[in-house]
Structure 1
Amino acid sequence: MIRVLDKLLLFLYSLAIGALSVIAFCAAFNWFPEDWLNNLVHNLYNGREEWLQITVITVSVVLFLISLRFFYVSLRRSNSSAPSIDQRTEFGDIRISLETVENLALKAAARQRGVKDLKARIRISESGIDISLRAIADGESSIPTLTEDIQRAVKSHVEEITGIPVATVSVFVANIIQTANFKSRVE
């Protein structure tokens, strides 16, 4: 949501700066009548046209606030790197991306018979990794047995490969695959 807001602010800021640049360019080439510019500045300073003062003040304040926001964004430390799990060993630091853990979980779950379609979501908790799997079963196997096998396989595979404790493995069986039953006709 913040990124969308920043993009909208950048668009508005660019539009306003572009308009001000065009106005300054036209004024520099004397494309505006001098009397009109003098009258505009005179009305602005004398307060004869209150709407003009309010408009200039409002636009200036908004542009200044947007400038401050962009200044803050430019100095803020970027968190654009992929989310990861960081470990420190005696030899140095290890970073394992959540995508890697997700792929390991999907690989282990896909090895189980009776699973047709899988999706995974990984979250980090204080007690370890929480893995949530969404599966579609073939409808031929017992769902409680299938899900326990998936949980056991995913937990042991991820812990063995990454060395990170897995706190929970949740399996959501979203559906079963409908197999088409064809009756043979004998004539």
Structure 2
Amino acid sequence: MLKRILLLACGLLVFLGSALVISEAFLNMGILSPYIEITFARWDVAVLFTILAILGLFAMVLAFASQKEPSSLLIASDYGEVRVSLQTIDSLVHQGAKKIKGIKDLKTRIIVRDGSLYIYVKAVLYGDRNIPELTEQMQQTISEHVYSISGINVDEVKVLVENVATDIKTKVS
């Protein structure tokens, strides 16, 4: 996020600075004349700073361009490639969580970044269980279940305990 903000700021500064110099060269507004003297022919300045203005606009567009997150993971085998969708990984996470007693509700977010798999879990737990032990068990069970079924190594499982419930019905879907 910080990179996007810096790219936007730099692009904006380059664009506005270039527009100011171009307008000074053609309109002689007198804004820059006390500080610098434009000694080039007007078309030279216009071409140079038009290129800079285009680069500034390009940087601003890059700052707003969304990077599409992958929707699947690639697994290479001896016979070719297999793609496993993030929806499949999500289902595997829920299957692994069903093995653990003490979870009332579970929401997941799966992220693939630089070929690494990160799983973020928001859980509602029952209040009669030790939270550190239960969350560690969740991390281990989910990671092992996803790996054993898909062959995909989970780099990190982060758990956020969203709430603690008191009723007895389990609901992990």
Q: Does the aligned pair in 2 maintain the 1:132–1:171 contact within 8 Å? A: yes
Choose which of 126, 132, 138 in structure 1 pairs with 2:114.
126
1:146 aligned partner: 134
Q: Return the alpha-carbon distance in structure 1 between the equivalents of residues 130 and 112 of structure 2.
A: 30
Q: Give yes or no for the alignment of 1:137 onto 2:132.
A: no
2:86 aligned partner: 98
Q: Does the aligned pair in 2 maintain the 1:127–1:167 contact within 8 Å? A: no
SS of the residue corresponding to residue 100 of structure 1 reads: helix
Displacement after TM superposition at 1:165 (Å): 1.1
Report the count of equivalent residues. 100
Q: Does the aligned pair in 1 maintain the 2:96–2:142 contact within 8 Å? A: yes
2:53 aligned partner: none
Quick check: 143-152 or 103-112, which moved more?
Answer: 103-112
Displacement after TM superposition at 1:127 (Å): 5.9
TM-score, normalisation: structure 2: 0.54
Consecutive unaligned residues of structure 2, counting only runs of 5 or more, are 1-67, 169-173
Q: Return the alpha-carbon distance in structure 2 between the equivalents of residues 178 and 138 of structure 1.
A: 6
Displacement after TM superposition at 1:89 (Å): 1.6
Q: Return the alpha-carbon distance in structure 2 between the equivalents of residues 165 and 136 of structure 1.
A: 25
Q: Return the alpha-carbon distance in structure 2 between the equivalents of residues 150 and 175 of structure 1.
A: 15
**What do the CA deviations read for 1:49-102 (whole angstroms, capped 9, x no partner)?**
xxxxxxxxxxxxxxxxxxxxxxxxxxxxxx9xx811112222011010000001
Consecutive unaligned residues of structure 1, counting only runs of 5 or more, are 1-78, 181-187
Misfit runs of 4+, over 6 Å = none
Q: Give yes or no for the alignment of 1:157 onto 2:142.
A: no
Choose which of 92, 111, 114 in structure 1 pairs with 2:102.
114
Q: Return the alpha-carbon distance in structure 2 between the equivalents of residues 161 and 85 of structure 1.
A: 14
**What do the CA deviations read for 1:99-139 (whole angstroms, capped 9, x no partner)?**
00011011101211110101111011236210011100010
1:62 aligned partner: none
TM-score, normalisation: structure 1: 0.50
1:176 aligned partner: 164
Q: Return the alpha-carbon distance in structure 1 between the equivalents of residues 125 and 149 of structure 2.
A: 26
Q: Does the aligned pair in 1 maintain the 2:110–2:119 contact within 8 Å? A: yes
Q: How does 1:4-153 map to 2 (within 5 A)?
A: 83-126=71-114, 128-153=116-141
Residue 166 of structure 1 aligns with an amino acid whose one-letter code is V
Cα distance, 1:122–1:156 mapped onto 2, change above 3 Å: same
Q: Return the alpha-carbon distance in structure 1 between the equivalents of residues 165 and 140 of structure 2.
A: 23
For CA contacts below 8 A with separation 6 or more, give which structure has more relative contact order.
2
CA RMSD in angstroms, aligned pairs only: 1.9
Q: Return the alpha-carbon distance in structure 2 between the equivalents of residues 153 and 135 of structure 1.
A: 14
Q: Does the aligned pair in 1 maintain the 2:73–2:115 contact within 8 Å? A: no
Q: Return the alpha-carbon distance in structure 2 between the equivalents of residues 161 and 179 of structure 1.
A: 32
SS of the residue corresponding to residue 158 of structure 1 reads: helix
